[in-house]
């Protein structure tokens, strides 16, 4: 997989604001304090604009991997989510204003973010070049040889959560918190990056036709979790067990499903998959149904 690496200041600001919107606690108290008011204002403006909040935030974060201008980012997101219309200009102006305030708040706390992220890139690239492609080959062997993209963009963002990230399926890019040390020794950062990258082609029609589009990112994240951990165990990058799945769910900030032992569900699904080896589209559909 050919990777393009880039620092993401705008992406970092959005990533932190999005984490706060989901009720996450940022690891930097100063950043949390600075971001609290503008992040809340952004959420309120999204609601006031009549946009469906979750799809809008997802599209906003995805387009942030491509654009550095808040106005251009909001414009593309509005067109993506609602299309063009007579009220778009007013929404564009208001959303751009609150998003700009979010970016300014982030930059006030992290004025050298772009330079810092560039410095973090080299050791992360070296780790990936040493182990990443071998790990991806194992993932392809366990899932589907057509699942992995031939190229992708890695947008490095500030470690707001100490190890978070997101796969932007429609943009062939990932946001990756640029953590330089393995905060959980059993979960090397190269494995976390492989997990994000391996999700990117789950939105191809051949894989996703029978999975609800709004649930697909959630399903893809959980589907590739045991696949990546199994692959990691086969190249001696960590153990594979239900405990390892639970460890990754916590460390990699996966959403919890109410009234459900997600770890047990995912582990049981993976064991059935290994025993029966259905096609990956069938496996994704089955997991979607199990996760509800």
* 70-109 pLDDT tens trace: 999 999 999 998 876 666 788 999 999 999 999 999 999 9
CA pair distance 14, 57, nearest whole angstrom: 9
Which of residues 101 and 253 earns the better pLDDT score? 101
Structure tokens at 73: 């980012």
* 123-150 pLDDT tens trace: 999 999 999 999 999 999 999 999 999 9
> CB atoms < 10 A from the CB of 206, how many?
12
The answer to whether 201 and 150 have CB atoms below 8 angstroms apart is no
pLDDT-based confidence at residue 121 (cuts at 50, 70, 90): very high
Q: Average pLDDT, whole number, for the chain? A: 94
Q: If you average pLDDT over residues 200-216, what whole number do you get?
A: 93
CA 96 to chain centre: 23
Q: If you average pLDDT over residues 260-264, what whole number do you get?
A: 91
Q: Could you tell me the end-to-end alpha-carbon distance of the chain, in angstroms, rounded to an integer? A: 32
Radius of gyration of the chain (CA): 19
Between strands 165-168 and 173-177, the pairing is antiparallel
At residue 172, does pLDDT exceed 90? yes
The answer to whether 176 and 165 have CB atoms below 8 angstroms apart is yes
pLDDT-based confidence at residue 51 (cuts at 50, 70, 90): confident
The DSSP output letter for 170 is G
CA pair distance 121, 24, nearest whole angstrom: 25
pLDDT-based confidence at residue 18 (cuts at 50, 70, 90): very high
Q: What does the domain layout of the chain look like in residue ranges?
A: 8-115, 121-291
Q: What angle do CA 206, 207, 212 make, to 5 degrees?
A: 115
Burial class (CB in 10 A: 0-12, 13-18, 19+), 223: buried
Burial class (CB in 10 A: 0-12, 13-18, 19+), 160: buried
pLDDT-based confidence at residue 152 (cuts at 50, 70, 90): very high
**How high is the pLDDT of residue 240?**
96
pLDDT-based confidence at residue 54 (cuts at 50, 70, 90): confident
CA pair distance 282, 145, nearest whole angstrom: 15
Could you tell me which of 148, 152, 158 has the C-alpha nearest to residue 27? 158
**How high is the pLDDT of residue 85?**
64
């Amino acid at each position: 997989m050919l990777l393009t690496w880039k620092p993401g200041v705008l992406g970092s600001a959005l990533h932190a604001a999005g984490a706060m919107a989901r009720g996450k606690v940022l690891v930097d108290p100063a950043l949390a304090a600075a971001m609290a008011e503008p992040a809340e204002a952004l959420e309120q403006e999204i609601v006031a604009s009549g946009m469906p909040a979750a799809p809008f935030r997802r599209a906003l974060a995805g387009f942030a991997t491509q654009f550095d201008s808040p106005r251009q980012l909001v414009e593309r997101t509005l067109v993506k989510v609602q299309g063009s219309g007579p009220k778009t200009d007013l929404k564009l102006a208001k959303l751009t204003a609150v998003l700009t305030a979010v970016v300014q708040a982030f930059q006030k706390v992290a004025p050298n973010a772009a330079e810092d992220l560039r410095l973090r890139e080299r050791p992360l690239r070296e780790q990936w070049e040493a182990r990443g492609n071998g790990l991806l080959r194992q993932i392809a062997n366990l899932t589907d040889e057509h699942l992995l993209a031939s190229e992708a963009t890695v947008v490095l963002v500030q470690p707001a959560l100490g190890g978070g990230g997101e796969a932007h399926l429609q943009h062939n890019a990932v946001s990756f918190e640029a953590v330089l040390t393995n905060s959980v020794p059993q979960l090397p950062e190269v494995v976390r990056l492989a997990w994000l990258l391996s999700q990117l082609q789950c939105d191809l029609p051949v894989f996703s036709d029978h999975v609800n589009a709004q649930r697909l990112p959630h399903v893809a994240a959980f589907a590739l979790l045991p696949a990546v951990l199994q692959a990691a165990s086969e190249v001696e990058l960590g153990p594979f067990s239900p405990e390892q799945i639970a460890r990754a769910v916590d460390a990699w900030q996966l959403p919890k499903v109410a009234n459900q032992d997600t770890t047990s569900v995912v582990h049981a699904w993976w064991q059935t998959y290994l025993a029966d080896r259905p096609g990956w589209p069938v496996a994704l559909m089955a997991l979607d149904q199990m996760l509800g």
